[in-house]
């Protein structure tokens, strides 16, 4: 990695409307829930917050609407140690919205209204070229237009900025984009979408990782829920287990893992230590409700890790 240690995150910002239900409604069914809350979320913003709170020097490229939510979320992100200068306000657009049901087992289903996130065009990405070029790493997800993700990856690749993609939500991707990535972090569903390999066992994860290495990606980390992750570097793979905690809500667990992982790598932590650090951050997040309200600060992650010794 370059020695600047700087991170750029490019991605979405949403207001999450969260409702807890005993079970998810089936088509035609109405279920009365409890604990309705509105909290800041969006995969990009969650990962930016995880990086900012865990100690990275980070700038965030994103779009909000010209509404009250947009201005409030920008203030919140700035207080999370994030350089918000590259966040654009889009006229006559609403800030993105996510409608989220959480069931009794802590699982969630999510519907998205992209709103201003859809206005993050390749032209806006080009305007932030210098930030991407100066950074050591660029972290992205797939709640932003694909052509903009590709444009950012091209700029980063050209300037030796490492490109890390968390390919969520699941989507087929071009070989052109995959070849520009240094690291990819799919979950089991996303790995299957990208490789055609159904991931249920460690052997399946190794197979899926092999396909992704074949596309030109050096590091593949497949997240396996409570089983931890499959970490594969240039074809040599192993499972790194996570920490056992009582999950109340898994919203943003993957986002927290990604933001903390990249932060640790930018501090030159060895890969397995970085994965352990990210596991700790995600473990804390699942014990709390909501997306950004659940993301831990550095001190909490360090204390959690110390308690595991």
Interface ranges with ligand RIB (CB under 6 A): 12, 14, 16, 41-43, 46, 98, 110, 143, 251-252, 255, 291
From 68, 80, 255, 273, the catalytic residue: 255
Closest CB to ligand RIB among residues 43, 131: 43
How many whole angstroms separate alpha carbon 34 and alpha carbon 120? 34
The reply to whether 255 belongs to the active site is: yes
Residue 30 in marked binding region: no
What does residue 29 show for φ and ψ, rounded to 5 degrees? -100, 145
Residue 68 in marked binding region: no
Residues in the chain: 309
To the nearest whole angstrom, how small is the minimum distance from the Cβ of residue 285 to ligand RIB? Answer: 10
Residue 108 in marked binding region: no
User: Which DSSP letter does residue 293 get?
Assistant: G
Residue 284 in marked binding region: no
Residue 115 in marked binding region: no
To the nearest whole angstrom, how small is the minimum distance from the Cβ of residue 21 to ligand RIB? Answer: 17
How many whole angstroms separate alpha carbon 301 and alpha carbon 72? 26
Closest CB to ligand RIB among residues 197, 229: 229
Closest CB to ligand RIB among residues 62, 156: 62
Q: Note whether 305 and 284 are within 8 A (CB).
A: no
To the nearest whole angstrom, how small is the minimum distance from the Cβ of residue 225 to ligand RIB? Answer: 14
How many whole angstroms separate alpha carbon 147 and alpha carbon 215? 19
The residue sitting closest to ligand RIB, measured at its beta carbon, is 41
Closest CB to ligand RIB among residues 46, 84: 46
Q: Is the backbone peptide bond immediately before 260 cis, with ω within 30 degrees of 0? A: no
Closest CB to ligand RIB among residues 1, 94: 94
Collect all residues with Cβ–Cβ distance below 8 Å to 255 and sequence separation of at least 6. Answer: 43, 46, 47, 50, 141, 166, 291, 295
To the nearest whole angstrom, how small is the minimum distance from the Cβ of residue 253 to ligand RIB? Answer: 8
Residue with tokens 């997040």: 285
To the nearest whole angstrom, how small is the minimum distance from the Cβ of residue 198 to ligand RIB? Answer: 22
Give the DSSP letter string of 76-142.
HHHTTTEE-TTEEEETT-PPEEEEEEE-TTS-EEEEEE-GGGGG--HHHHHHTHHHHHH-SEEEE-S
Residue 136 in marked binding region: no
Known binding residues for ATP are 187, 223-228, 254-255, 279
Known binding residues for K(+) are 249, 251, 285, 288, 290, 294
Q: Which residues are catalytic?
A: 255
């Amino acid at each position: 990695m370059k020695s600047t240690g700087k991170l750029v995150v490019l991605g979405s910002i949403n207001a999450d409307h969260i409702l807890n239900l005993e079970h998810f409604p089936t088509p035609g069914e109405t279920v009365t829930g409890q604990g309705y809350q509105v909290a800041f979320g969006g995969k990009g913003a969650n990962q930016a917050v995880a990086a900012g709170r865990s100690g990275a020097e980070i700038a965030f490229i994103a779009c909000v609407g010209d509404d009250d939510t947009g201005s409030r979320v920008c203030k919140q992100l700035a207080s999370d140690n994030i350089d918000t200068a590259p966040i654009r306000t889009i006229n006559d657009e609403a800030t993105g919205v996510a409608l989220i049901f959480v069931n009794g087992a802590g699982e969630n289903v999510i519907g998205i209204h992209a709103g201003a996130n859809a206005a993050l065009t390749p032209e806006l990405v080009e305007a932030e070229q210098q930030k991407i070029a100066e950074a050591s790493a660029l972290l992205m997800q797939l709640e932003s237009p694909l052509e903009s993700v590709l444009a950012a990856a091209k700029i980063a690749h050209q300037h030796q900025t490492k490109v890390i993609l968390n390919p969520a939500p699941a989507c087929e991707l071009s070989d052109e984009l995959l070849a520009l990535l240094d690291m990819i972090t799919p979950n089991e569903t996303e790995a299957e979408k990208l490789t055609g390999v159904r991931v249920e066992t460690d052997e399946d994860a190794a197979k899926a990782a092999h396909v992704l290495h074949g596309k030109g990606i050096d590091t593949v980390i497949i997240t396996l829920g409570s089983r931890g992750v499959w970490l594969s570097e240039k074809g040599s793979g192993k499972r790194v287990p996570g920490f056992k905690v009582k999950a109340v809500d898994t919203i943003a667990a993957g986002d927290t893992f990604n933001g903390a992982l990249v932060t640790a790598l930018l501090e030159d932590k060895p890969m397995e230590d970085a994965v352990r650090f990210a596991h700790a951050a995600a473990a804390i997040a699942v014990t709390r409700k909501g997306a950004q309200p659940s993301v831990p600060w550095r001190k909490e992650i360090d204390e959690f890790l110390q308690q595991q010794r």
